[in-house]
């Protein structure tokens, strides 16, 4: 394919208002990037003769990015990223010019995705930049598109650019999670949750969004919202995408466990996350030694998944279940604190002091896991005669 033919094809689909087709000609993943006749270092003059502004700027920047990616010696990702940034700046100009039209949104989608992927590649290839710096600059470019889309309040519901918000938010969430700037996610999540179009976005986009929003809620210890977001993502993700369902389950499982729902072994086995089975068994049994061993055995898995600190929070449930067994054994509402200390020692916390035992019980009372109070004068835990150990699900 010669440059003239390529530009003619773009002009044809542009005049037909076929946004998807135009986007395909501007994607770095499309087959046209393998056409040597399109590798032009300075295509500006040829492009501007055949295409209107600012489409010519978008196509020129795209072709320059292709040129630097497909060089005979080695790809120059830094230069390709620079031109892709120019490309998205021209897309912002296009969005601003084409009022009350949204058929061009697919163009924004592909240019945005390619910008994020190129920024990621630059981060991996270049050593002189600060970690996350290039991705952060890419996020600023994506935010320019987001502001235009979010600000399009005068168009009709069918033609509004606000329908493109979720695609951009998902790109931004991926960037912010990668560079560990989770505080920047909050306004984006709030914008989507309060949007009138939140149920109009494609299911695939909503699944991606719920996955990231669920992880953010989990890190904020908002486990009920995290469970709602992640459950939606898991239930609606097609079964054939096993890898994606496994990723969701890695975060959904500890969240549900903290809310009192223990996972079934066959589900964990199906998605190869049996690391949680040992933990669930230990929590149910109130076996502190078994819990600590499971944490130690699968430590690297939990750390790499980013759930180690979340999993550690389950220890309080293990203590709660152990102390409930003490109550069931003694059958009294005034339990000597020595009984809890002995139970802890028997369960693997061998060097636990009485002060530490008091601290564990006090935390359980504070969190609503036990209904009662500690009588320091008599060194006893006095518990409620009704529902002394509230259900973890209701707590």
- Check the CA dihedral 382-318-233-109 and report its sign: positive
Predicted local confidence at residue 185, as pLDDT: 95
Please list the residues that pair with 374 across neighbouring strands: 381
Rounded Cα distance, 347 and 338, in Å: 14
Is the pLDDT at 103 greater than 50? The verdict is yes
- pLDDT, one tens digit per residue, over 205-255 is 999 999 999 999 999 999 999 999 999 999 999 999 999 999 999 999 999
Least confident residue range of 25-39, 118-132, 173-187: 118-132
Q: Are 92 and 148 in contact (CB under 8 A)?
A: yes
Phi, psi of 169 (to 5 degrees): -60, -40
Predicted local confidence at residue 234, as pLDDT: 96
Rounded Cα distance, 283 and 262, in Å: 9
Residue 233 domain-assigned (yes or no) = no
Confidence of residue 117 (pLDDT cuts 50, 70, 90): very high
- What does the block give as tokens for 209? 């969004």
Rounded Cα distance, 347 and 355, in Å: 17
Rounded Cα distance, 377 and 382, in Å: 12
Alpha-carbon 240 to chain mean position? 20
Residue 12 domain-assigned (yes or no) = yes
- pLDDT, one tens digit per residue, over 321-343 is 999 999 989 988 899 999 999 99
Enclosing H/E stretch for 372: strand 372-375
Confidence of residue 12 (pLDDT cuts 50, 70, 90): very high
Residue 392 domain-assigned (yes or no) = no
Count how many residues are written for the chain.
395
Over residues 11-36, the mean pLDDT reads 93
Domain with 165 in it: 1-192
- Check the CA dihedral 131-137-140-142 and report its sign: negative
Name residues whose C-beta falls within 8 Å of residue 153's C-beta, 6 or more positions apart in sequence.
160, 162
Residue 357 domain-assigned (yes or no) = no
Over residues 277-287, the mean pLDDT reads 92
- What does the block give as tokens for 218? 């989990």
Confidence of residue 198 (pLDDT cuts 50, 70, 90): confident
User: Which residue shows structure tokens 């009984």?
Assistant: 339
Predicted local confidence at residue 395, as pLDDT: 47
Predicted local confidence at residue 127, as pLDDT: 64
Residue 337 domain-assigned (yes or no) = no
Predicted local confidence at residue 202, as pLDDT: 92
Over residues 182-186, the mean pLDDT reads 94
Alpha-carbon dihedral 176, 177, 183, 184, rounded to 10 degrees: 20
Residue 62 domain-assigned (yes or no) = yes
Confidence of residue 129 (pLDDT cuts 50, 70, 90): low
Confidence of residue 299 (pLDDT cuts 50, 70, 90): very high
Phi, psi of 23 (to 5 degrees): -60, -40
Q: Are 391 and 342 in contact (CB under 8 A)?
A: no
Over residues 167-186, the mean pLDDT reads 94
Predicted local confidence at residue 222, as pLDDT: 93
Average pLDDT across the chain, whole number: 91
User: Which residue shows structure tokens 């995705």?
Assistant: 113
Q: Could you give the number of structural domains in the chain?
A: 1
- pLDDT, one tens digit per residue, over 331-386 is 888 999 999 999 999 888 888 899 999 999 999 999 889 999 999 888 999 998 88
Enclosing H/E stretch for 10: helix 3-15
CB atoms within 10 A of CB 351: 7
Q: Which of 45, 120, 31, 50 is nearest to 80 (CA)?
A: 120
Q: Are 91 and 145 in contact (CB under 8 A)?
A: yes
Predicted local confidence at residue 315, as pLDDT: 92
Among left, alpha and beta (phi > 0; psi -120 to 50; other), residue 316 is alpha
DSSP string, 75-92: --HHHHHHHHHHHHHHHH
Rounded Cα distance, 5 and 106, in Å: 22
- pLDDT, one tens digit per residue, over 248-276 is 999 999 999 999 899 999 999 999 999 99
Question: Terminus-to-terminus CA distance in the chain, angstroms?
Answer: 66
Phi, psi of 304 (to 5 degrees): -65, -30
Residue 310 domain-assigned (yes or no) = no
Rounded Cα distance, 222 and 218, in Å: 6
Residue 166 domain-assigned (yes or no) = yes
Phi, psi of 195 (to 5 degrees): -75, 145
In percent, the amount of the chain with pLDDT more than 70 equals: 98
DSSP string, 171-223: HHHHHHHHTT-GGGHHHHHHHHHT-TTTTTS-HHHHHHHHHHHHHHHHHTT-H
Confidence of residue 75 (pLDDT cuts 50, 70, 90): confident
Q: For 144-183, what is the HEC assignment?
A: HHHHHHHCCCCCCCCCCHHHHHHHHHHHHHHHHHHCCCHH
- What does the block give as tokens for 353? 């002091």
Q: Are 171 and 208 in contact (CB under 8 A)?
A: no
């Amino acid at each position: 394919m010669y440059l003239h033919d390529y530009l003619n094809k773009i002009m044809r689909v542009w005049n037909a208002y076929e946004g998807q087709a135009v986007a395909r000609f501007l994607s770095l993943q499309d087959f046209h990037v393998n056409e040597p006749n399109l590798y032009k270092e300075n295509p500006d003059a040829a492009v501007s003769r055949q295409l209107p502004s600012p489409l010519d700027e978008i196509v020129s920047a795209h072709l320059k990015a292709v040129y630097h990616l497909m060089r005979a010696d080695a790809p120059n990702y830094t230069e390709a990223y620079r031109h892709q940034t120019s490309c998205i700046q021209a897309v912002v100009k296009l969005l601003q010019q084409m009022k009350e039209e949204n058929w061009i949104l697919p163009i924004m989608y592909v240019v945005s995705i390619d910008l994020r992927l190129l920024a990621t590649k630059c981060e991996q290839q270049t050593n002189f930049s600060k970690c996350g710096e290039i991705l952060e600059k890419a996020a600023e470019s994506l935010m320019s598109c987001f502001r235009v889309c979010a600000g399009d309040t005068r168009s009709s519901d069918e033609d509004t650019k606000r329908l493109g918000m979720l695609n951009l938010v998902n790109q931004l969430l991926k960037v912010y999670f990668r560079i560990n700037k989770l505080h920047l996610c909050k306004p984006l999540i709030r914008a989507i949750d309060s949007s009138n179009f939140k149920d109009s976005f494609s299911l695939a986009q909503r699944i991606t969004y719920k996955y990231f929003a669920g992880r953010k809620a989990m890190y904020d210890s908002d486990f009920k919202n995290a469970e709602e977001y992640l459950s939606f993502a898991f239930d609606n993700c097609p079964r054939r995408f096993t890898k994606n369902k496994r990723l969701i389950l890695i975060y959904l499982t500890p969240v549900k466990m903290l809310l009192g729902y223990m996972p079934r072994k066959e589900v964990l086995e199906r998605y190869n996350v049996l690391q949680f089975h040992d933990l669930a068994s230990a929590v149910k049994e109130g076996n502190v030694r078994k819990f600590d061993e499971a944490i130690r055995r699968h430590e690297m898995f939990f750390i790499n998944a980013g759930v180690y600190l979340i999993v550690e929070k389950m220890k309080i449930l293990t203590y709660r279940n152990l102390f409930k067994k003490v109550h069931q054994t003694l059958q009294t509402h005034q339990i000597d604190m020595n009984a809890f200390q002995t139970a802890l020692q028997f369960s693997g916390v061998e060097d636990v002091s009485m002060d530490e035992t008091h601290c564990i019980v006090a935390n359980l009372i504070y969190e609503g896991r036990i209904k009662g109070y500690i009588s320091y004068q008599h060194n006893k835990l006095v518990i409620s005669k009704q529902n002394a150990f509230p259900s973890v699900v209701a707590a």
